[in-house]
Structures are given as structure tokens and as C-alpha cells.
Amino acid sequence: MGKLEGKVGLITGAAGGIGRATSKLFIEEGAKGVVMADIWDEMGEKTAEELGPNAIYLHTDVSEEADIKKSIELAIEKFGQLDIVFSNAGNPGPGGSIDDVPTDEFDHTVAIHLRAAFLYMKHSIPIMKKQGSGCFITTSSVAGFQQGMGTLPYSVSKAGIIQLTRIAAVELGIFGIRANAIAPGGIATGIFGQAFGISRNGAEKVSELMKETLAEMQAIRRAGLPEDIANAALFLASDSSSFITGVTLKVDGGLLSGRIPQYPEENQERFANLMQALDPEDLKIVTERVQDGFKKVMDDLKFMKPEIRDKVIKRLQKMTPQG
């Protein structure tokens, strides 16, 4: 008997990376049904077909409240219940400092991460109250705990999810409903490629190329994999965690315990290898993004104190490939 026998789950961001791995694992563990919500229709439909009749894909833009409602309604229509909501959909958000981030892109990133998690709770709670049970799991991030591990709107959203989880746990425990979050560290998924704005297929390729870099970041010297997060989600969704609520489980290989020193020369070589493996169109996009980033740094130099400016210039020289 599987750990999710008779349970119905709804997973957002289910077509790729963490969401796809979790959908697969939930089905393997006997889930009565899994609604796979995403906007990557090609991969979502293909994965649902591979997983069999207990998996259903639905095009879902989690920044739209109407789409969120439709995915919840589909779970009830097809399976008659909703036991697990895993709010996992995400994007990297726009890079840049506070004065650079476009307001509309900030709002969109918050909508995909924090607002969507809130809305999934809002519209699923009445169903779970009637059932007398339910489980919310939301993907946070190490970026929600520490600066410098994600873009501004992404990090703010992930920190908000941690607090939303605590609030939900206290409000809902009396109804038999639990709420927990997962904070992944360096997981090899397409989000790194998406941060550069390259194609979805190109981003998936980047996820493979990032494994070597990610393996050097934390105490456990390998890249985190989507399956690592899927296993954590399975634990939090199952009765094995029935006395756990309000926690954010760090699945980061020890990253938040202390970052491993990085060497500029090795990072240059890894980045060069990554660039060489990209398709021409994706390479053009990444190159333009990198150039824009350096231009912004150079523009800001004139506002820095001389002693700080000198340190920044020396660091840039180390980071810039020679020859």
C-alpha cells in the first residue's frame, strides 16, 4: 500500500522539474488522483499521459485567480475530494537592485509565488473543512532566509511564504488541516535558465549543465535534484508527518549552514562551458543579459566611495575571462 493511497493531490508547476518529479512520485505512492497544473502544455500533457488515468493536466496560470479556482474545481469534479495542495509554480523574477526592478515584473513574481499560495489556501480551505482534513505544502526557498540567493521579488515572495505557512498552520489546525513549506537549496531545474530569459527547452538543458556548479556550493557535494524535493513533499503530504505543521523544511544540502568558498577561475570555466552548450539564440540572450548586468555595475561605480570602488573593480577583473 502506497503512502498516499486514496488521497487526491493538486500540484502547480507540475510540468517540469520539482512539480513533474512530485507528480510522478505521488502516483507511484498510490494517489487516487493528481491534478497537474502548469502553463507548459506540451510537457504537462505528455507527463500526465505517461502517468496514466489518475493524472490529469490542466493549463493553469497561477497569477490568475480564475485559473486557480478551475484547477481546484477539476480535482473535485474528477476525484470528489482534495487532500493535498502543493503550490510549487514559480519563476526566477527580474534581477537588479531595488531601484532597477520593474514594478509590473515585481507584482507578477509575487503573484506567481506568494499570492498564488494564498489563493490556493483561500479557495481550498472550505473543501478541506468539510472533509475534516487536508494538507498544504508550498515551495519556499533558501532565498527566503538569506539575502543573495535569488532576485529581490523572488526572495521577498519566498520569505512571505514562510510566514503564510505559520499563520495557516495556527488558523487551520483545529480543522484537521496542516500547512508546511519546503525551502530548496541549489536544485538542478530549469529556473536557472529561465532567469536569463531563454527558451523552456534551453532552460531544461541548463539544468543539467548546472549540476557541476551546484555540487560545489554546500556541505553535501552534489547538486540537489527534483526528486529530493519530491521526497520531502511526499513526507509532508503523508500521514507520516501527521504531527508536523507550520514548519519550513530546508532541503538544501547544508547550504544555509555555511557556503563553500568559490574560486573565480573555476566559476569562469564552468560558465564558459555552459555558454558553449547553448543554442545560438539562447546564447545571444544570455550574452545580452550578462552585458547588461556589467553595464549596470559600471554605471553605479561613480556613486561609490573611492575605496569601495577600487575593491569592486578588482573583483570584476577577477570575474572577467582573460584573453
Q: What is the rounded CA–CA span in Å between residue 102 and residue 125?
A: 33
Mean pLDDT of 235-244: 98
The verdict on residue 209 lying in a domain is no
> Minimal CA–CA distance to 177: which of 109, 121, 251?
121
Q: How many separate domains does the chain show?
A: 2
DSSP-derived secondary structure letter, 245: -
The verdict on residue 23 lying in a domain is yes
Q: Among 46-50, 53-57, 231-235, 303-307, which stretch is predicted with the lowest mean pLDDT?
A: 303-307
pTM: 0.84
Asked whether residue 309 falls in the same domain as residue 250, the answer is no
> From the CB of residue 217, how many other CB atoms can be counted at a distance below 10 Å?
20
Max mean pLDDT range (40-49, 187-196, 263-272) = 40-49
Asked whether residue 114 falls in the same domain as residue 27, the answer is yes
The backbone torsions φ and ψ at residue 35, rounded to the nearest 5 degrees and listed phi first, read -90, 120
The verdict on residue 217 lying in a domain is no
Phi-psi region at 244: left, alpha or beta (left = phi > 0; alpha = psi -120 to 50): beta
Contact partners, residue 229, CB within 8 Å, separation at least 6: 18, 21, 22, 139, 182, 184, 187, 251
Asked whether residue 54 falls in the same domain as residue 162, the answer is yes
CATH code for position 242: 3.40.50.720
Residue with cell 493549463: 59
- Specify whether the CB–CB gap between 229 and 184 falls below 8 A: yes
Above pLDDT 90, what percent of the chain? 65
User: What is the residue type of 304?
Assistant: M
Q: Examine the fold and report which residue of 208, 233, 257 is the final residue of a domain before the chain moves on.
A: 257
Hey, is 318 helix, strand or coil? helix
Max mean pLDDT range (78-82, 91-95, 311-315, 316-320) = 78-82
User: What size, in residues, is the chain?
Assistant: 323
The verdict on residue 80 lying in a domain is yes
Give residue 152's pLDDT. Answer: 96
Asked whether residue 252 falls in the same domain as residue 172, the answer is yes
- Specify whether the CB–CB gap between 320 and 298 falls below 8 A: no
* pLDDT above 50 for 323: no
State the residue range of the domain holding 162: 8-187+224-257
Asked whether residue 293 falls in the same domain as residue 147, the answer is no
Digit-coded pLDDT (tens) for 117-174: 999 999 999 999 999 999 999 999 999 999 989 999 999 999 999 999 999 999 999 9
Asked whether residue 59 falls in the same domain as residue 145, the answer is yes
The verdict on residue 218 lying in a domain is no
> From the CB of residue 297, how many other CB atoms can be counted at a distance below 10 Å?
13
Give residue 216's pLDDT. Answer: 79
Asked whether residue 285 falls in the same domain as residue 242, the answer is no
Q: Give 2's pLDDT tier (boundaries 50, 70, 90).
A: very high
Q: Examine the fold and report which residue of 257, 278, 309 is the final residue of a domain before the chain moves on.
A: 257
Digit-coded pLDDT (tens) for 97-120: 999 999 999 999 999 999 999 999
> Minimal CA–CA distance to 85: which of 109, 60, 105?
60
* pLDDT above 60 for 284: yes
- Specify whether the CB–CB gap between 32 and 53 falls below 8 A: no
Q: What is the rounded CA–CA span in Å between residue 158 and residue 174?
A: 26
The verdict on residue 247 lying in a domain is yes
> Minimal CA–CA distance to 181: which of 126, 236, 100?
236
Q: Which three cell numbers stand for residue 257?
A: 549552514
The verdict on residue 193 lying in a domain is no
Asked whether residue 245 falls in the same domain as residue 274, the answer is no
* pLDDT above 80 for 288: no
Asked whether residue 285 falls in the same domain as residue 246, the answer is no
What is the crossing angle of helices 152-172 and 103-110, to 10°? 30
Mean pLDDT, the chain, whole residue set? 87
The verdict on residue 194 lying in a domain is no
Contact partners, residue 131, CB within 8 Å, separation at least 6: 81, 82, 83
Q: Examine the fold and report which residue of 209, 240, 257 is the final residue of a domain before the chain moves on.
A: 257
User: Would you name the residues annotated as active-site residues?
Assistant: 141, 154, 158
Asked whether residue 315 falls in the same domain as residue 236, the answer is no
Asked whether residue 115 falls in the same domain as residue 152, the answer is yes
Asked whether residue 14 falls in the same domain as residue 158, the answer is yes
